[in-house]
Amino acid sequence: NAGVTQTPKFRILKIGQSMTLQCTQDMNHNYMYWYRQDPGMGLKLIYYSVGAGITDKGEVPNGYNVSRSTTEDFPLRLELAAPSQTSVYFCASSYSGGGSATNEKLFFGSGTQLSVL
């Protein structure tokens, strides 16, 4: 199993451009999450999904959109990139919600480093 795969690893955008960060997992996990991490800071939840067709907002959803058409994929869309969206983006997945059953845990991808200039 590849686990959680994120693409691209690095990207530079100009202000106002749009892009999609891709995330796919091959573990048949129900739950998927998008986090962002600003330099020297902790993780902030952007959006999450409990299954195909179901998404919900996290702590910092403004400026982002998500979709979950399949169990495997959970892309994150930036429509009008702004400098405040410069960050490292992590996608994660878990079988259920993580932490609610013995040995449930989050699996993270390696991240996408995004700069908006």
Partner 1 sequence: LAKTTQPISMDSYEGQEVNITCSHNNIATNDYITWYQQFPSQGPRFIIQGYKTKVTNEVASLFIPADRKSSTLSLPRVSLSDTAVYYCLVGPNQAGTALIFGKGTTLSVSS
Beta carbons of 3 and 14 less than 8 angstroms apart: no
Sheet holding 64-66, edge to edge: 4-7, 19-25, 76-78, 64-66
Pairing relation of β-strands 107-108 and 76-78?
unpaired
Task: Show the site string, 8-47: x = touches partner 1 by CB under 8 A, - = not.
Answer: -------------------------x-x-----xxxxx--
Q: How far is the CB of 55 from partner 1 (least distance, A)?
A: 11
The two most distant CA atoms of the chain are separated, in Å, by: 44
Answer yes or no whether residue 97 interacts with partner 1 by CB under 8 A: yes
Answer yes or no whether residue 56 interacts with partner 1 by CB under 8 A: yes
Which CB, 17 or 75, lies closer to partner 1? 75
Answer yes or no whether residue 98 interacts with partner 1 by CB under 8 A: yes
Q: Which residues are CB-contacts of 42 (< 8 A; sequence separation ≥ 6)?
A: none
Residues lying near partner 1 in the complex (CB under 8 A) are found at: 4, 33, 35, 41-45, 48, 50, 56, 58-59, 88, 90, 92, 96-111
